[in-house]
């Protein structure tokens, strides 16, 4: 019945929605930022442990739709071990991919995150996918206040 | 089913012939805004094509014609809600503006610090925030009457909130997030017994049931035109004449003026005192056409038909495992707000959209209601006079399939 949605809801997204990775409070985090999408009520708290400019651990808590949950779950997996600079570059690439600012999706750069490229065809859902990443961006910049997608 | 000209009604709404993502449109977001019949569309086109000019000032023929049509629309609204006098019908942009007008004009002039305004736990933001703003401005106090798990007002607790300091009750006739129809006759009787005026927010009720403001004896009644099959940017504030007379103007300029010098301004009488600036002329004339349209079908017939639709939808929803209806008041209008286990409402909204079904997913501008039920949002199917059982079947089929997909 939902054939047209296969680009948006790929199996990987269902998998991460059912079993989000790194879904836990991190006690020894040195970055902690809340992200909030007031339009739909999605909210998450992102925890990072950054040692010597390298993200040694990432985790999250919160509730949201399948797209936003998969996005933050995938993100916590992929940023682990990356430098702050690499993570910031990834944020920009992800943003370009989901908002359709670049014609081609750079598969090599975004890797597994390419499963979220489908949101570009669904403008109402772009914020779901990008909430996690705006929260990451704030955490990297060491902002304390909550991030909102509005 | 009752005898009801559903096919003719559907044919009157051109948008119902549209497709969405290659599927026939099933429009179930009526609580947010309703679609427009050809008669309303024609009315706007006719005004702009043949009879448009600014109103009330011109001595030329077109202005006189437009003024006549505009004032005829006021008379249609008066008749539709059975107000005693057309002076009591103020045109505004929508229910939200009407409530803000009452808060800023009536509230600021009649209430003092410490005075209390009573609302209910099921209000949408438009009947919460204007009162909070007023409270900040003058030091009045907002009291919230609680509801039970079914989404019904707990009447005894509401009544207990009415005291010496209560100066206004402002309550939804029907809840947008839950569908609850409040016992407004009882509410008004209880408030009036203590000389407290009552404002009914009729934004959701007005398209679905007959409303008689004199029989209700409410002091204010507000609604939006766009939910009554009329154009957006139109709305109505009904107020009892004596209350409106005592209220100062809300905005200055244009039609609300009688005389102006740089030293002093005198204000126009009702209803123009509250109608500053050029209104949505063609749109308000279009609202008159919408009232003609629903009146011809009959609000009683519409209410009976929609009650059957809701009963049908509820019966089917209750059979779907994992589907939870939010808002199960005994007195309820055509709104089916729901959650699905482990599936976020936004995913529900996108998935149903892909099969042509438009529902709302979110907090419906009623975040305290969501907090009450401990959910971030709900999906909401809301019915109008043109919806059918077949459309509800498509909705239910879509829900069953998406439960399988998310499994």
Residue at token pair 């569908």: B179
Confidence of residue B1 (pLDDT cuts 50, 70, 90): low
Q: Check whether B198 has a pLDDT greater than 80.
A: yes
Q: In the prediction, which pLDDT does A6 show?
A: 82
Residue B241: in which H helix or E strand, if any? helix B241-246
Q: In the prediction, which pLDDT does B2 show?
A: 61
Q: Inspect the interface and report whether the beta carbons of A4 and B350 lie closer than 8 Å.
A: no
Q: In the prediction, which pLDDT does B401 show?
A: 95
Q: Average pLDDT, stretch B290-301?
A: 98
Task: Express each pLDDT in B170-194 by its tens digit.
Answer: 999 999 999 999 999 999 999 999 9
Name B164's Cβ contacts closer than 8 Å, sequence gap at least 6: none
Percent of chain B at pLDDT > 90 equals 90
Number of Cβ atoms within 10 Å of the Cβ of B324: 16
Task: Express each pLDDT in B88-120 by its tens digit.
Answer: 999 999 999 999 999 999 999 999 999 999 999
Confidence of residue B21 (pLDDT cuts 50, 70, 90): confident
CA distance B390 to chain A (A): 17
Confidence of residue A61 (pLDDT cuts 50, 70, 90): very high
CB distance A107 to A91 below 8 Å: no
Q: In the prediction, which pLDDT does A37 show?
A: 85
Cα radius of gyration (chain B): 22
Least confident of A101-105, B95-99, B356-360: A101-105
Task: Express each pLDDT in B207-241 by its tens digit.
Answer: 999 999 999 999 999 999 999 999 999 999 999 99
- B177: closest CA among B154, B201, B198? B201
Fold of A1-143: Sufe protein. Chain: A (3.90.1010)
Domain segments of chain A: what residues? 1-143
Least confident of B44-58, B198-212, B244-258, B325-339: B244-258
Confidence of residue B402 (pLDDT cuts 50, 70, 90): very high
Q: Inspect the interface and report whether the beta carbons of B405 and A40 lie closer than 8 Å.
A: no
Residue at token pair 């029907």: B174
CA–CA separation, B342 vs B109, rounded Å? 50
List residues of chain B with CB under 8 Å from any CB of chain A. 21-22, 343-347, 350-351, 354-355, 361-363, 367, 370, 376-377, 397-398, 401-402, 405-406
Predicted TM-score (pTM) of the model is 0.93
Strands B19-20 and B116-120: what pairing? unpaired
Asked about B218 being catalytic, the answer comes back as no
Position with higher pLDDT, A105 vs B318: B318
Q: Inspect the interface and report whether the beta carbons of B21 and A2 lie closer than 8 Å.
A: no
Task: Express each pLDDT in B23-49 by its tens digit.
Answer: 999 999 999 999 999 999 999 999 999
Q: Which of A66, A73, A150 is the best mutation test for B, with the most CBs of B within 10 A? A: A66
Q: List C-alpha distances in Å: B268 to B60, B249, B261, B378.
A: 22, 9, 14, 46
CA–CA separation, A86 vs A57, rounded Å? 15
Residue A43 forms contact with B (CB below 8 Å):
yes
CB distance B27 to B358 below 8 Å: yes
Question: Which phi and psi angles does B62 have, rounded to 5°?
Answer: -60, -40
Q: Average pLDDT, stretch B328-337?
A: 97
Q: Average pLDDT, stretch B353-373?
A: 91
Long-range contacts of residues A136-142, Cβ cutoff 8 Å, at least 24 apart:
A136/A46, A136/A48, A136/A75, A136/A79, A136/A87, A136/A91, A137/A88, A137/A91, A138/A33, A138/A35, A139/A31, A139/A32, A139/A33, A139/A46, A139/A48, A140/A31, A140/A48, A140/A84, A140/A87, A140/A88, A140/A91, A142/A31
Query: Which domains occur in chain B, in start order?
Result: 6-30+299-406 (3.90.1150.10), 41-295 (3.40.640.10)
Q: In the prediction, which pLDDT does A68 show?
A: 94
Helix axes A66-79, A84-99, angle to 10 degrees: 150
Mean pLDDT of all residues belonging to chain B: 96
Q: Across the strands, what pairs with B169?
A: B118, B198
Mean pLDDT of all residues belonging to chain A: 89
Q: Which of B23, B346, B404 is the best mutation test for A, with the most CBs of A within 10 A? A: B346
């Amino acid at each position: 019945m939902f054939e047209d949605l296969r680009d948006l809801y790929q199996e990987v997204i269902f998998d991460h929605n059912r079993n989000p990775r790194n879904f836990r409070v991190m006690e020894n985090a040195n970055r902690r930022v809340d992200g909030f999408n007031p339009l739909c009520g999605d909210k998450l708290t992102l925890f990072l442990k950054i040692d010597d400019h390298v993200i040694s651990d990432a985790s999250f808590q919160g509730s949201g739709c399948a797209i936003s949950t998969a996005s933050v779950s995938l993100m916590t997996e992929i940023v682990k071990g990356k430098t702050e600079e690499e993570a910031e570059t990834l944020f920009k690439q992800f943003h370009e991919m989901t908002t359709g600012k670049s014609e081609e999706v750079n598969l090599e750069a975004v890797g597994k995150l390419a499963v979220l490229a489908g949101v570009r065809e669904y403008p109402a859902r772009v914020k779901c996918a990008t909430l996690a990443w705006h929260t990451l961006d704030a955490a990297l910049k060491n902002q304390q206040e909550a991030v909102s997608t509005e | 089913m009752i005898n009801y000209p559903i096919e003719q009604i559907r044919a009157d709404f051109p948008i119902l012939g549209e497709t969405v993502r290659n599927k026939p449109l099933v429009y179930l977001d009526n609580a947010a805004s309703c679609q427009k019949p050809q008669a309303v569309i024609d009315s706007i086109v006719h005004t702009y094509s043949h009879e448009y000019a600014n109103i009330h000032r011109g001595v030329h023929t077109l202005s006189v014609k437009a003024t006549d049509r505009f004032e005829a629309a006021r008379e249609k609204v008066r008749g539709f809600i059975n107000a005693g006098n057309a002076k009591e019908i103020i045109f505004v942009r929508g229910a939200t503006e009407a409530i803000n007008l009452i808060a800023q004009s009536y509230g600021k002039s009649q209430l003092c610090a410490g005075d209390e305004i009573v609302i209910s736990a099921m209000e949408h933001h438009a009947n919460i925030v204007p009162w909070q703003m007023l409270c900040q401005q003058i030091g009045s106090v907002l009291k919230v009457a609680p509801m039970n798990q079914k989404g019904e007002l707990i009447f005894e607790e509401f009544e207990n909130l009415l005291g010496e300091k209560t100066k206004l009750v402002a309550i939804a006739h029907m809840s947008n997030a839950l569908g609850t129809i409040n016992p407004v006759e009882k509410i008004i009787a209880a408030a009036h017994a203590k000389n407290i005026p009552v404002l009914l927010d009729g934004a959701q009720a007005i398209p679905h049931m007959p409303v008689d403001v004199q029989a209700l004896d409410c002091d204010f009644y507000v609604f939006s035109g766009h939910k009554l099959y009329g154009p957006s940017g139109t709305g109505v504030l009904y107020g009892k004449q004596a209350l409106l007379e005592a209220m100062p103007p809300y905005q200055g300029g244009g039609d609300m003026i009688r005389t102006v010098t740089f030293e002093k301004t005198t204000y126009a009488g009702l209803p123009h005192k509250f109608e500053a600036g050029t209104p949505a002329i063609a749109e308000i004339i279009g609202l008159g056409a919408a009232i003609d349209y629903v009146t011809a079908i009959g609000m009683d017939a519409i209410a009976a038909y929609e009650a059957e639709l809701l009963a049908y939808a509820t019966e089917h929803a209750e059979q779907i495992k994992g589907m939870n209806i939010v808002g199960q008041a005994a007195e309820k209008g055509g709104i089916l707000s729901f959650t699905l286990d482990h599936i976020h409402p936004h995913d529900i909204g996108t998935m149903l959209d892909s099969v042509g079904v438009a529902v709302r997913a979110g907090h419906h501008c009623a975040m305290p209601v969501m907090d009450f039920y401990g959910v971030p949002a709900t999906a909401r199917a809301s019915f109008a006079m043109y919806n059918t059982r077949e459309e509800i079947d498509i909705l239910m089929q879509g829900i069953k399939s998406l439960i399988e997909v998310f499994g």
